[in-house]
Amino acid sequence: MTVHDHDAHHEAPLAPVEARVAAIERVLTERGLLDAAVLDDVVAHFENDLGPMNGAKVIARAWVDPDYKRRLLADATVAIAELGFGGPEGEHMVVVENTPRVHNLVVCTLCSCYPWPVLGLPPRWYKAPAYRARAVREPRALLAEMGTDLPDGVEIRVWDSSAEVRYLVLPERPAGSDGYSADELASLVTRDSMIGVERL
Ligand code: FE
């Protein structure tokens, strides 16, 4: 039995993440465990098909269609699927509505649960321990630091996304957007407003 040399683990500096990913991809492909074409499809799906533009379409539709908004707040998963969005990390969606008196903020305190079909992959700060802790402990101060000053009278509700439920914020429709088409409205909706760190 050899003596375990702890320091041996730390001698070689880690390669940049891209190099490590490329090496893993090559080994898996060579061993027939990974089909490079399938991998390209998966990457393209994340790059082209998933993202906040999907969530923006959901929000814009809710702004122009009161019946859709009712369905969205009643069962978000079904209403979002009406627009063709769904799948992994979005199987159990809940939409929470901002009003002049209530502001909703989404976090995953445990890790980085996030609604991929409507928002894509989470931004780096969403996964940071500071965001995850402070969103619960001091949401008003956190929002102010992120550029969103909420009036004292506005109640902040914090929603903890998890493996079971993923939350999406329905922001208030911006003033002065009367007469906008759904496409024009969708262009006003930001990713951050659907997480709740920004007001439109
Ligand atoms: Fe998580």
Q: Give dist(CA 149, CA 170) in Å, integer.
A: 18
Out of 3.90.330.10, 1.10.3720.10, 3.90.550.10, 3.40.50.1970, the CATH code matching 13-195 is 3.90.330.10
Q: Tell me whether residue 108 is one of the annotated catalytic residues.
A: yes
Q: What is the pLDDT of residue 94?
A: 98
pLDDT at 23: 83
Ordered alpha helix ranges (H), the chain: 17-30, 36-44, 52-64, 66-74, 76-82, 116-119, 124-127, 129-137, 139-145, 182-186, 191-195
Query: Residue 12's pLDDT is what?
Result: 62
Q: Which residues surround ligand 1, an ion (CB under 5 A)?
A: 108, 110-113
Is 187 known to be catalytic? Answer: no
Q: What is the 92 CA–ligand 1 centroid distance (Å)?
A: 14
pLDDT of residue 27: 84
Q: How far is ligand 1, taken at its centre, from the CA of residue 83, in Å?
A: 25
Cα of 7 vs centre of ligand 1, distance in Å, is 33
- In tens digits, the chain (200 residues) has pLDDT values of 444 444 444 556 667 777 888 888 888 888 888 787 887 777 777 777 889 999 999 999 999 999 999 999 999 999 999 999 998 899 999 999 999 999 999 999 999 999 999 999 899 999 999 999 999 999 999 999 999 999 999 999 999 999 899 999 999 999 999 999 999 999 999 999 999 999 99
DSSP 47: I
* CA of residue 177 to ligand 1 center, whole Å: 35
Which of 167, 184, 178 is closest to 98 using CA atoms?
Answer: 167
| pLDDT for position 38 | 80
Active site residue 113: yes
CB 63 within 8 A of CB 170: no
